[in-house]
């Protein structure tokens, strides 16, 4: 009980200094919290551009590169570089131009650009990609990612002879079911 009495006595004598220290500590914590909240909000509304590979079920023989902005703001001055350089020739004597050969001026939120890729040796390669873009405040973003096409060989809808045979048998079966 004596300790409590001494503690209360110290509080009475130094209540101004203790109160100021508490206010100072509270303001430091609050300032750091406001800063992190501002940073989080800024990240939530920035552009977020990604490059990926996909196939369409309607056209299983072709791979598609997709450059998409998943962010909440437009991405500006987008450039994509690959290492090694992605070389696809279709037809053989003329290179097939892909969308990332040039700088893309604007990619709106939820907008994507799709480029078809014919079958080729690129599926056996791994590419280090660098995507560079800006937001409307001229802040530059650089995103590095890896594209590895080898997974497409194992997809159910890949254009392998086994999968084509299975799909053909499935279509024949559906036709027979409709007729009988």
Q: CA–CA separation, 136 vs 113, rounded Å? A: 20
**49-166 carries CATH number 2.60.40:** yes
Chain segment 129-147, per-residue pLDDT in tens:
899 999 999 999 999 998 8
Cβ contacts of residue 134 below 8 Å, gap of 6+?
75, 76, 77, 140, 141
Pairing of strands 59-69, 49-56: antiparallel
DSSP lists the bridge partners of residue 52 as: 66
Given a cut of 70, the residues of the chain with pLDDT beneath it are: 1, 4, 7-8, 10-11, 14-16, 18-19, 43, 56-61, 87-101, 118-122, 151-167, 180
Per-residue pLDDT at 93: 66
Q: CA–CA separation, 126 vs 153, rounded Å? A: 14
Domain positions in the chain = 2-41, 49-166
Q: CA–CA separation, 112 vs 16, rounded Å? A: 61
3-state secondary structure of 31: helix
3-state secondary structure of 137: coil
Per-residue pLDDT at 120: 66
Per-residue pLDDT at 149: 74
pTM over 0.85: no
Q: CA–CA separation, 39 vs 3, rounded Å? A: 45
């Amino acid at each position: 009980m004596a300790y409590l009495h001494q503690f209360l006595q110290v509080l009475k004598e130094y209540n101004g200094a203790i109160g100021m220290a508490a206010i100072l500590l509270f303001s430091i914590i609050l300032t750091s919290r406001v800063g992190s909240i501002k940073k989080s909000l800024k990240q939530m509304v920035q552009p977020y551009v990604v490059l990926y590979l996909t196939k369409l079920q309607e056209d299983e023989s072709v791979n598609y590169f997709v450059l998409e902005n998943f962010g909440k703001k437009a991405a500006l001055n987008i450039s994509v570089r690959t290492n090694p350089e992605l070389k696809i020739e279709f037809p053989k004597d003329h290179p097939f131009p892909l969308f990332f050969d040039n700088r893309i001026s604007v990619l709106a939120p939820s907008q994507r650009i799709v480029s078809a890729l014919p079958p080729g040796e690129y599926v056996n390669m791994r590419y280090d990609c660098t995507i560079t873009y800006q937001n409307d405040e001229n802040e530059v973003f650089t995103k590095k990612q890896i594209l590895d096409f080898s997974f497409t060989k194992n997809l159910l809808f890949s254009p392998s002879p086994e999968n084509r045979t299975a799909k053909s048998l499935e279509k024949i079966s559906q036709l027979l079911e409709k007729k009988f």
